[in-house]
Amino acid sequence: MSKDWPLWEVFIRSKHGLSHKHVGSIHATDAEMAMNNARDVYTRRNEGASIWVVPSAQIVSSAPGDKEMLFDPSNDKVYRHPTFYEVPSDVENM
Amino acid sequence: MYSQFVDTGAQGKSTGQDASEQERAFQARIDEGISIEPKDWMPEKYRKTLVRQISQHAHSEIVGMLPEGNWITRAPSLRRKLILLAKVQDEAGHGLYLYSAAETLGASRDELLDALHEGRAKYSSIFNYPTLTWADIGAIGWLVDGAAIMNQVPLCRCSYGPYARAMVRVCKEESFHQRQGYELLLEMVNGTDDQKAMAQDALNRWWWPSLMMFGPADGDSIHTQQSMAWKIKRHTNDELRQRFIDQTVPQAHYLGLEIPDPDLRWNEETGHYDIGEINWDEFWNVVNGNGPCNRERLAARRKAYEDGAWVREAAQAYADKQQQRRAAA
């Protein structure tokens, strides 16, 4: 039995002006093969203007258990949103 | 139905008193329609069931290339050859999206492939039937891909995020598969008498196996309840089968072909077509490895995998060498 080739995550920029978006993963022995495989698997219909491939092992991700610690602090800061402020309706262009 | 018999490890569903608090919270999340992502806590049975379901689905895409690949070199025109090549390449792509989704659950690609090659994993029964004539390529696109779409569209809303997203990609691509098949048959039924007879013969052979793709009747489908509670199955086998029949019969009429079922009737009361008895003995026979092509398909998969071993080894050796060179430099 062979061993799995390293896993790479694939990100595609579908159009100029948009960010890259995660689309899935592929296996490849090196970066060049990862790029070729990503092209074959994820851009068969002109979906891509640019591809990033990143070794999956290199991705650091937040844990679901840390959700409160990470994201709750911004939850109660309503003053970061424009709707927090009252501007008289006579004032225009704001 | 590309995954016809997914064992959930439980008969019926377990959401009752014996469920732990964590399990109840998990179920509540699914009931609310919040999708489950790879790092989220999930019951072990949910994980195992999904790995089984997604890998059966992936294996079906991969084995599904064989009956059609059989005709690439014999396509009757360059146009048809290009279409068939693109379709078979899509099936490979779909298999890869799905393996990639299964891997987010901690499955290893090589282990999944080993399970297929050693006959421990299942794939859809439909791919164990032979493609005898060119019209079969049309029938597969129209019926087999049509049935697949019927099953896969609801899975775009399944509870597991990576699986749902893979299904969205697959469904976008699959629609051309069905249309090219129907177009192919339309050309044949408007051709010579022999060509029309060939189209009818293909429908005769593929109709019942296509209906079997939806899996056993609801009464015999012991894992449906749990899978539906988990939202990794959104409709029962019989519901989807009926929808497929209702949609496909008029399409056959348009082709001027006859559905090979003397009991087929439009039922005014229910607003559905009634069909004759499905030959479940045949279904279980194929599922259990005794269909017309089970051994041939597995042997072809194994051979392809073994013949490719030196390529995989060479690519790995090359990558290792390059890495050592970079380290030394």
Chain B closest CA to A86's CA: distance in Å? 34
Residue A16's pLDDT is what?
84
Contact assignment for B110 to A2 by CB distance below 8 Å: yes
Q: How confident is the model at residue B5 (pLDDT cuts 50, 70, 90)?
A: low
Say what the alpha-carbon torsion angle B252, B255, B258, B261 is, to the nearest 10 degrees. Answer: -10
- CB distance from B282 to chain A under 8 Å? no
Q: Quote the distance between the C-alpha of residue B136 and its chain's center.
A: 17
Percent of chain B's residues with pLDDT above 90: 89
DSSP type of residue A13: E
- CB distance from B318 to chain A under 8 Å? yes
Chain A closest CA to B70's CA: distance in Å? 22
Query: B67, B144, B128: which is closest to B293 by C-alpha?
Result: B128
Question: Quick check: B12 pLDDT over 60?
Answer: no
Q: How confident is the model at residue B72 (pLDDT cuts 50, 70, 90)?
A: very high
Question: Quick check: A2 pLDDT over 70?
Answer: no
pLDDT tens-digit map of B216-234: 999 888 788 899 999 999 9
Could you tell me if A38 and A52 are in contact, meaning their C-beta atoms sit under 8 angstroms apart? no
Chain A closest CA to B126's CA: distance in Å? 25
Chain A closest CA to B110's CA: distance in Å? 6
Could you tell me if B84 and B71 are in contact, meaning their C-beta atoms sit under 8 angstroms apart? yes
Residue B143's pLDDT is what?
98
Q: How far apart are CA A82 and CA A86, in angstroms?
A: 9
Contact assignment for A29 to B40 by CB distance below 8 Å: no
Chain A closest CA to B317's CA: distance in Å? 9
Contact assignment for A5 to B93 by CB distance below 8 Å: no
Mean pLDDT of B248-275: 97
Question: Quick check: B63 pLDDT over 90?
Answer: yes
Q: Which of B86, B313, B319 sits opposite A30 (nearest CB)?
A: B319
* Selected residue of A3, A7, A23, A25 to mutate for chain B interface (largest B Cβ count, 10 A): A25
Contacts of A44 in chain B (CB under 8 A): 86, 89-90, 93, 173
Q: How far apart are CA B102 and CA B96, in angstroms?
A: 10
What the block records as the tokens of B121 is 């994993």
Q: Which of B90, B309, B315 sits opposite A33 (nearest CB)?
A: B315
pLDDT tens-digit map of B117-143: 999 999 999 999 999 999 999 999 999
Residue A75's pLDDT is what?
81
Q: How far apart are CA B224 and CA B328, in angstroms?
A: 57
What the block records as the tokens of A38 is 């990503």
Question: Quick check: B99 pLDDT over 80?
Answer: yes
Q: Which of residues 48-77 of A touch B (CB under 8 A)?
A: 61, 63-64
Contacts of B173 in chain A (CB under 8 A): 44-45
**Greatest C-alpha distance within chain A:** 75
pTM of the model: 0.91
Residue A74's pLDDT is what?
83
Number of helices and strands in chain A (H, E)? 2, 3
Residue B124's pLDDT is what?
95
pLDDT tens-digit map of B280-312: 999 999 999 999 999 999 999 999 999 999 999
Q: How confident is the model at residue B238 (pLDDT cuts 50, 70, 90)?
A: very high
Residue B4's pLDDT is what?
64
Question: Quick check: A76 pLDDT over 90?
Answer: no
Residue B9's pLDDT is what?
66
Q: How confident is the model at residue A33 (pLDDT cuts 50, 70, 90)?
A: very high
Mean pLDDT of B163-181: 94
What the block records as the tokens of A79 is 């003053």
Residue A4's pLDDT is what?
83
Computed over every residue of chain B, the mean pLDDT equals 93
- CB distance from B34 to chain A under 8 Å? no
Residue A55's pLDDT is what?
96
Q: How far apart are CA B261 and CA B278, in angstroms?
A: 10
Question: Quick check: A1 pLDDT over 50?
Answer: no
Q: How far apart are CA B186 and CA B263, in angstroms?
A: 25
Question: Quick check: B35 pLDDT over 90?
Answer: yes
Could you tell me if B131 and B84 are in contact, meaning their C-beta atoms sit under 8 angstroms apart? no
**If you count residue pairs, one on A and one on B, with CB atoms under 8 Å apart, how many are there?**
54
What is the number of other CB atoms lying within 10 angstroms of the CB of residue B182? 19
What the block records as the tokens of B36 is 């489950």
Contact assignment for B322 to A30 by CB distance below 8 Å: yes
Q: Which domains does chain A have, with CATH numbers?
A: 2-60 (3.10.20.520)
